Amino acid sequence: MNIELRPEIEAISEEIIENRRHLHKYPELGLQEHETAKFISEKLNELGLEVSTGIGQTGVVALLKGGDGPCIGLRADMDALPIQETGDVAYKSVNDGVMHACGHDGHMVMLLGAAKVLSEKRDRIKGTVKFIFQPAEEGLGGARYMIEDGVLENPKVDEVYGIHLWNYQPFGTVGVQPGPVLAAADEFIITVKGKGGHGAAPHGTVDAVVVASYLVTTLQTIVSRNTNPLESTALTVGMIEGGYNYNIIADEVVLKGTARAYTEENRKMIHNRLHEICDGIGATYGARIEVNYSDGYPPTVNTEAESKKVFLATEKVVGKGVQPPYLTMGGEDMSYYLQKVPGCFFFVGSAPADREPMSVPHHCSHFDIEERALLVGSSIWVQLVEDVLT
Ligand SMILES: [Zn+2]
Ligand SMILES: [Zn+2]
């Protein structure tokens, strides 16, 4: 492993780690990041940056204005998850039932560290850096609120970048790749309406449990039979609920699930097939089937040129540690910025070095990171801005 941290980041490494431990201890859920926003805006104000608060409800945006040149947006998300922390760390969450179990505490401090270092190089920067601290990534789509509040305007953001700490990759590696890197994450609720009756006299009834069973198995064929095997999709029925007792034929069953795809084409295909299958099975068994399909985050798609810039900057920090990312079918609201502005979302390996690989996944109650990864991410931010704007 050949890591060359930026010396300016190394010099403030204790502060970066201390900040992360503070934010980890006081996590807040999406759109409730009031103390978090206060902490961040105070730090940014100390740097003499132009700071705006209350963007996208609880977001914070800071501008570092250098000379003439493009404006690049660097984004960190701020929210925690509704999980009770079970790990045994000194900086364990003191907010009951709330925990930074995805690494967003780390995202904020990597960006704060870079803001501190870059604010001292203002004279050399040809352009503007917009530091974007965004609320509510975990499900509520805080990025949309930020965009509605004009985060991509005044000045107009020409390129946008985001980091996710990534426990699926070992420390010292960084995943960078053009094209799709995270999936579209849609949700559906299917209500099967049959006709109830006595369990001993099924004739004349429409058994919603039987119909729902066919639905669950048939929906699996969207992935196994309708998707090109070289492309990735996922469909999960995560909840099924209905019925009254062992001898009663159920008149209604509700199914809830999620559909994931890396491309808009596959996303549409799943959506259409789901409707067709529900209509078909409803007709076959004489049930009424209602589908409520809601679009979640779009796929996160990186542009070629900006991915190259991240690749080159990252190579200067981790050498051969830069590689294609460990891909999952997770979703990210970074995708909303990338739908409007070219950019790259990349993955900084943060699996704790002293534990089994994959034993500390994101969103688990004992989640923790290799804190040295914070210095890697922060170094890449500084390097990237220097490469692009000096
Ligand atoms: Zn997450
Ligand atoms: Zn996350």
CA torsion through residues 107, 375, 1, 307, sign: positive
Tell me which architecture the domain covering 184-297 has in CATH.
Answer: 2-Layer Sandwich (3.30)
Alpha helices in the chain (DSSP H): 7-11, 13-25, 34-46, 104-119, 142-148, 208-221, 264-285, 304-318, 334-340, 372-389
Alpha carbon distance 249, 27 (integer Å): 46
Ligand nearest, relative to CA of residue 81 = 1
Distance 379 CA to ligand 2 centre (A): 20
For 355-377, what is each residue's pLDDT tens digit?
A: 887 899 999 999 999 999 999 99
At 270, list the tokens: 């799943």
pLDDT tens, position by position, 295-322: 999 999 999 999 999 999 999 999 999 9
pLDDT at 277: 98
The residue with tokens 């053009």 is 178
Q: How far is the CA of 102 from the centre of ligand 1 (A)?
A: 5
Q: What stretch(es) of the chain map to CATH 3.40.630.10? A: 7-181+299-389
**Higher per-residue pLDDT: 358 or 337:** 337
Q: For residue 334, report the phi and psi dihedrals to the nearest 5 degrees.
A: -55, -25
Q: Could you give the count of Cα atoms lying within 13 Å of 16 in the half-sphere of its Cβ?
A: 28
**77 C-alpha to center of ligand 1: Å?**
10
pLDDT in tens, 232-259: 999 999 999 999 999 999 999 999 999 9
Asked if residue 1 has pLDDT above 90, the reply is: no
Domain with CATH 3.30.70.360 in the chain: 184-297
- Spell 321-342 as b/e; 16+ CB within 10 A means b: bbbebbbbbbbbbbbbbbeebb
The ligand that comes nearest to the alpha carbon of residue 162 is: 2
- DSSP calls for 63-119: EEE-EEEEEEEEEEE---BS----S--TT---STT-B--SSHHHHHHHHHHHHHHHH
- Percent with pLDDT over 70 in the chain: 100
- Indicate which residues carry an active-site annotation: 79, 137
- The DSSP-derived string for 142-194 is HHHHHHHTTTTTTTTPSEEEEEEEEEEEETT-EE--SEEEE-EEEEEEEEEE-
Task: Compute, in angstroms, the gap from residue 279 CA to the centroid of ligand 1.
Answer: 34
Residue 288 CA, ligand 2 centroid: distance in Å: 38
93-105 mean pLDDT? 98
Nearest-ligand number for the alpha carbon of 103: 2
Instruction: Return the structure tokens found at 132.
Output: 């974007």
Q: Determine the pLDDT at residue 356.
A: 84
% of the chain with per-residue pLDDT over 90: 98
pLDDT at 139 over 80: yes
The Å distance, Cα 314 to ligand 1 centre, comes to 23
Chain mean position to CA 21: 21
Q: Which CATH superfamily is domain 7-181+299-389 in?
A: Zn peptidases (3.40.630.10)
Write down the mean pLDDT value for the chain: 97
Of the bound ligands, which one is closest to the alpha carbon of residue 165?
2
Residue 13 has what pLDDT? 98
Compute the distance from residue 192 Cα to the ligand 2 centre, in Å.
34
Residues 6+ apart with CB under 8 A from 225: none
DSSP state of 309: H
Backbone angles phi, psi at 275, to 5 degrees: -65, -45
State the distance from the centre of ligand 2 to the C-alpha of 222, rounded, in angstroms.
28
Report which bound ligand comes closest to the CA of 364.
Answer: 1
pLDDT at 240: 97
Q: Which long-range contacts (CB under 8 A, 24 or more apart) does 145-150 make?
A: 145/56, 145/57, 145/59, 146/55, 146/56, 146/59, 146/61, 147/56, 147/336, 147/337, 147/340, 148/56, 149/55, 149/56, 149/59, 150/55
pLDDT of residue 357: 76
pLDDT of the residue at 170: 95
| Residues 155-203 pLDDT 10s | 999 999 999 999 999 999 999 999 999 999 999 999 999 999 999 999 9
From the CA of 215, how far away is ligand 2's center (Å)?
A: 32
pLDDT score of 208 = 98
Please tell me what DSSP assigns to residue 36: H
CB atoms within 10 A of CB 87: 15
